[in-house]
């Protein structure tokens, strides 16, 4: 079985662990969001790709969900001693090495997809991880501070401001001119199932879908497309997805997110048991829906979620 | 008093400490060797500039003479885990930050001299440190291994091979087209005394002198030019200067190094007391010479050496 997963960072990475356990024989291709990539200290940082790579490769800081386990921050402290920031982005020493290798390879002319493959040769994540595009796409958020609107990098909005200022729009700058990375459309066309994990529907999966050709390829793949709601009981399971959903005019409910993807794209949708009441409404919109526990509290719970997603896909297929 | 010092790495840096103690009121400009600069991991590393900066700024690893005190090597270990080397060059985490800042500033368009000034704003070395040139100069060594001659980077010869293979030539690649950095010629023209510390006469001071205009400016400055022999009793005080002296056809003696600089450039020369016998020969060649203890065993000894150098300069002037 060939499974294609569109993934952001923490939510996607944790779900993938469950999927690997649920379908150990499957060939899994992960199309990773690169819209939250950022250049820091002259280095190219790809937070979502790294979170997937570290999580599946056993290098992740488990409690935090991002960054490396057993991390130290000497380089960052020294940079601060030079007066060089930003200090709000937590790059550790181990993590720095990843960005140094990536930046060096990019400077040598390798595309991001080849660099990601090279990095994964160390981590052996058990999936094929492909960035959504080799072209630069950078998610910007239109915020309002002191009565003035300005566009800032998603990481500044998310990490520095903790999404605490009103967001009026989310723009994946460069997406319209980006091409899917080599292997992305091929993997989608060859997929038996396509899964949207409980990643952020706007700045993670939404950004991947904004790369011209990706949404169309998924819609035309002719295979079940199933997703898991990142919203449980009107609030994001983690993160601040509600803030960016509001910016694109979508309510923070499992049903609204399903409708946002739309029945033209999505065939099946898993909501949490607390949202069972929304199932009829979602099914009425043409999306097959089941209510199951959606909290990824441990690997067992996550594996059950992945199994349910695959079962729902089979239901859709039948 | 305005003093200009041409400096390599460890020897130059340690001498400068003594000079600062000997002449606390002097305005000291250090013209630093950049011929041993190297690009590692996509980062620009300037070993000699950093050794001067860290030594005078209180950040140096004292026993080692280069690199940072209290250093860790997490980034390097992680790079090795990615299979990315070289492993023979010891870049520590604290040190990495310096190279990251430098590389980022260079990429932003600042010349190396401006970058060095910015880095020194943190370290406050008590001298004005200027790279010999903002242009790239890279010392290569023509070596013979397995009967074959090839040119390798100086650092590879020095650090990886520990100068243990025969060197047939030392070539400061790019020097002939390099321009002195802003301030270099001005500092020389305004100097009251010019000092060659016991740095490597070939790959440190020799490289600085190879930048067109520098040697001429020193010769024409009309002020005393005094040096301290890096060779004591037919062997380098530290390092492997004898190997590169052989490559340029110069004997490893205090007298031969003085003759190599030449009386057209050098007015005064300090040799160690063990080389007292060479004094008449050096003076016969038109270079005023004194024999004093030349081992920089501690700050007091080094300060005495600096005082003797300044006294010799006054003798020359008179």
Q: Which of B74, B84, B103 faces A101 most closely, judged by CB atoms?
A: B84
Residue B238: pLDDT over 80: no
Q: Which residue has the higher pLDDT, A144 or A260?
A: A260
Gap between the Cα atoms of B67 and B56, Å rounded: 13
pLDDT tens digits for range A8-40: 999 999 999 999 999 999 999 999 999 999 999
Phi-psi region of B222 (alpha: psi -120 to 50; beta: other; left: phi over 0): left
> What are A253's two structure tokens?
């409910």
Q: State the smallest CA–CA distance between residue B156 and chain A in angstroms.
A: 20
Per-residue pLDDT at B145: 82
Cβ atoms of residues B229 and B251 within 8 Å:
no
B window 10-49, beta carbon within 8 A of A: 41-43
A200 vs chain B: nearest CA distance in angstroms? 30
What does the alpha-carbon distance between residue A35 and residue A39 come to, in Å, rounded to a whole number?
12
Q: Is B94 on the interface with A (CB under 8 A)?
A: yes
Q: Which residues of chain B lie closer than 8 angstroms to A72, CB-CB?
A: 72, 74, 93
The sheet with strand B148-153 has its strands ordered as: B148-153, B138-145, B167-173
The greatest distance separating any two alpha carbons of chain A, rounded to the nearest whole angstrom, comes to 62
Interface residue B83 vs chain A (CB under 8 A): yes
Is B104 an interface residue toward A (CB < 8 Å)?
Answer: yes
Cis check for the bond before A86: say yes or no (omega within 30 of 0). yes
Contact: B100, A42; criterion CB under 8 Å: yes
- For residue range A185-221, what is the model confidence (pLDDT) as tens digits? 999 999 999 999 999 999 999 999 999 999 999 999 9
Q: Give the phi and the psi of residue B11 in degrees, each rounded to 5.
A: -60, -45
**Residue whose C-alpha is closest to residue A86's, from A138, A143, A139, A38:** A38
At A146 the pLDDT is 84
A165 CB-near residues (< 8 Å, 6+ apart): A143, A144, A145, A157
Give the H/E segment covering residue B76.
helix B74-81
Euclidean distance between CA atoms A110 and A132, whole angstroms: 16
Three-state secondary structure call for residue B210: coil
Of A42, A75, A94, the CB nearest to B107: A42
**Joined tokens for residue B78:** 């992680």
Q: How many CB atoms lie within 10 A of CB A213?
A: 14
Please answer yes or no on whether A97 and B78 come within 8 Å at the CB atom.
yes
Q: What is the spatial distance between Cα A185 and Cα A167, in angstroms, rounded to a whole number?
A: 32
pLDDT score of B239: 76
Phi, psi of A44 (to 5 degrees): -90, 120
Stretch A94-103: mean pLDDT? 98
Indicate the average pLDDT of chain B.
Answer: 96
Residue B235 has pLDDT above 90, yes or no: no
For the beta carbon of residue A137, count every other beta carbon within 10 angstroms. 23
Residues of A in contact with B75 (CB under 8 A): 75, 93-94, 96-97, 100
If DSSP codes are grouped into helix, strand and coil, which group holds residue B152? Answer: strand
Number of C-beta neighbours around residue B237 at 10 A: 17
Contact A127, A30 (CB under 8 A): yes
**Residue A77, phi then psi, degrees to nearest 5:** -65, -40
Closest CA to B264 of B309, B209, B199: B209
Joined tokens for residue A119: 């990095």
Residue B119: closest C-alpha in chain A? A82
- Give, rounded to a whole angstrom, the gap between the first and last alpha carbons of chain A: 16
Residue A123 pLDDT more than 90? yes
Query: What local confidence, expressed as pLDDT, does residue A241 receive?
Result: 85
Q: Answer whether A75 sits within 8 Å of B94, measured CB to CB.
A: yes
Residues of B in contact with A81 (CB under 8 A): 97, 122
Tell me what pLDDT residue B241 has.
85
Name the residue ranges covered by the structural domains of chain A.
Answer: 2-134+177-317, 138-172
Give the pLDDT of residue A237: 78
Per residue, the 3-state secondary structure of B84-109, as one string, reads: CCCCCCCCCHHHHHHHHHHHHHHHCC
- List the beta bridge partners of residue B149: B144
Residue B201: the pLDDT is 96
Residues of A in contact with B94 (CB under 8 A): 74-75, 78
* Digit-coded pLDDT (tens) for B166-222: 899 999 999 999 999 999 999 999 999 999 999 999 999 999 999 999 999 999 999
pLDDT at A238: 76
| Span A216-236, average pLDDT | 94
Q: Which pLDDT does position A90 carry in this prediction? A: 87
For B186, other C-beta atoms within 10 Å of its C-beta total 13
Residues B57-105 have pLDDT tens digits of: 999 999 999 999 999 999 999 999 999 999 999 899 999 999 999 999 9
- DSSP assignment letter at B133: B
Residue A148 zone, left/alpha/beta (φ > 0; ψ -120 to 50; rest): beta
Q: Which of A74, A85, A92 to mutate to test the interface with B (most CBs of B within 10 A)?
A: A74
Inter-residue contact A196 to A6 (CB < 8 Å): yes
Contact B122 A82 (CB under 8 A): yes
Which pLDDT band holds residue A234 (cuts at 50, 70, 90)?
confident
Q: What pLDDT score was predicted for residue B240? A: 82
Whole-number Å distance between alpha carbons of A311 and A313: 5
| Alpha carbon distance A250, A261 (integer Å) | 11
What is the ipTM metric for this complex? 0.93
In order, the DSSP letters of chain A are -EEEEEE-SHHHHHHHHHHHHH-TTSEEEEEE--TT-EEETTEEE-HHHHHHHHHHHT-B-TTTSSSBTT---HHHHHHHHTT---SSS---HHHHHHHHHHHHHHHTT--HHHHHHHHHHHH--SSEEEESBSS--EEEEEEEETTEEEEEEHHIIIIISTT-S-EEEEEEETGGG--BPTTHHHHHHH-SEEEE-SS-TTTTHHHHHTSTTHHHHHHHS-S-EEEE-SEETTEESSTTHHHHHHHTT--SSHHHHHHHH-TTT-SEEEEEGGGGGGHHHHHHTT-EEEEE-----SHHHHHHHHHHHHHHHHHHH-
Chosen CATH of B2-36+124-134+177-317 out of 3.40.50.10680, 3.30.1300.10, 3.30.470.10, 3.40.50.1370 = 3.40.50.10680
pLDDT number for residue B214: 98
A2-134+177-317 CATH pick, 2.40.128.280, 3.40.640.10, 3.60.15.10, 3.40.50.10680: 3.40.50.10680
Give the whole-number percent of chain B exceeding pLDDT 90.
Answer: 93
Predicted confidence (pLDDT) per residue in B242-277, tens digit:
889 999 999 999 999 999 999 999 999 999 999 999
Which residues, in sequence order, are bridge partners of residue A138?
Answer: A173
Average pLDDT, integer, range B114-140: 98
**pLDDT value of position A44:** 97
Nearest-CB residue to A72 (from B43, B72, B122):
B72
Coil, helix or strand at residue B263? coil
Say how far residue B243 (Cα) sits from the centre of its chain. 16
Q: What is the dihedral of CA A42, A43, A46, A47, to 10 degrees?
A: -90
Lowest mean pLDDT among A119-128, A156-165, A269-278, B52-61: A156-165
Q: Flag whether residue B301 sits within 8 Å of chain A, measured between CB atoms.
A: no
Per-residue pLDDT, B134 = 98
Tell me whether residue A108 is exposed, middle or buried, using C-beta atoms within 10 angstroms of its C-beta: 0 to 12, 13 to 18, 19 or more. exposed
Angle at which helices B47-57 and B112-123 cross, to 10°: 20
| CA dist., res. B138 & res. A73, Å (int) | 32
Chain A: closest CA distance from residue B99 (Å): 10
The candidate with the shortest Cα–Cα distance to B286, out of B262, B270, B308, B255, is B262
Q: State the number of CA atoms in the 13 A half-sphere of A184 facing the CB.
A: 28
User: Do A79 and B101 make contact, defined as CB atoms within 8 angstroms?
Assistant: yes
Whether residue B173 has a cis bond before it, omega within 30° of 0: no
Choose among A83, A84, A101: nearest Cβ to B82: A101
């Amino acid at each position: 079985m060939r499974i294609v997963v569109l993934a952001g960072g923490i939510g996607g990475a944790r779900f993938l662990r469950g999927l690997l356990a649920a379908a150990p024989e499957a060939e899994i291709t992960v199309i990773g969001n690169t819209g939250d990539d950022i250049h820091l200290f002259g280095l190219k940082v790809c937070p979502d790709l790294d979170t997937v790579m570290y999580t599946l490769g056993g290098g992740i800081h488990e409690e935090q969900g991002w960054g490396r386990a057993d991390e130290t921050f000497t380089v960052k402290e020294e940079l601060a001693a030079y007066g060089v920031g930003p200090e709000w982005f937590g790059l550790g020493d181990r993590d720095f090495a990843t960005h140094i290798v990536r930046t060096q390879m990019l400077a040598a002319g390798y595309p991001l997809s080849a660099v990601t493959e090279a990095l994964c040769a160390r981590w052996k994540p058990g999936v094929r991880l492909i960035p959504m595009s080799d072209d630069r796409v950078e998610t910007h958020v239109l915020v309002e501070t002191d009565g003035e609107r300005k566009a800032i990098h998603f990481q500044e909005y998310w990490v520095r401001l903790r999404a605490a200022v009103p967001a009026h729009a989310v723009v994946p700058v460069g997406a319209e001119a980006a091409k899917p990375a080599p292997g992305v459309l091929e993997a989608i066309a060859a997929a038996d199932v396509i899964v949207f994990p409980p990643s952020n529907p706007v700045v993670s999966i939404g950004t991947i879908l904004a790369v011209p050709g990706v949404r169309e390829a998924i819609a035309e793949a002719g295979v079940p497309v199933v997703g898991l709601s990142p919203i449980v009981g009107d609030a994001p399971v983690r993160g601040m997805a509600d803030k960016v959903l509001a910016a694109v005019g979508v309510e923070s409910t499992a049903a609204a997110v399903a409708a946002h993807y739309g029945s033209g794209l999505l065939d099946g949708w898993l909501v949490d048991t607390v949202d069972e009441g929304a199932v009829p409404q979602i099914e009425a919109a043409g999306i097959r829906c089941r209510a199951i526990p959606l909290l990824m509290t441990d690997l067992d719970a996550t594996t059950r979620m992945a199994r349910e997603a695959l079962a729902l896909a089979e239901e859709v297929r039948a």
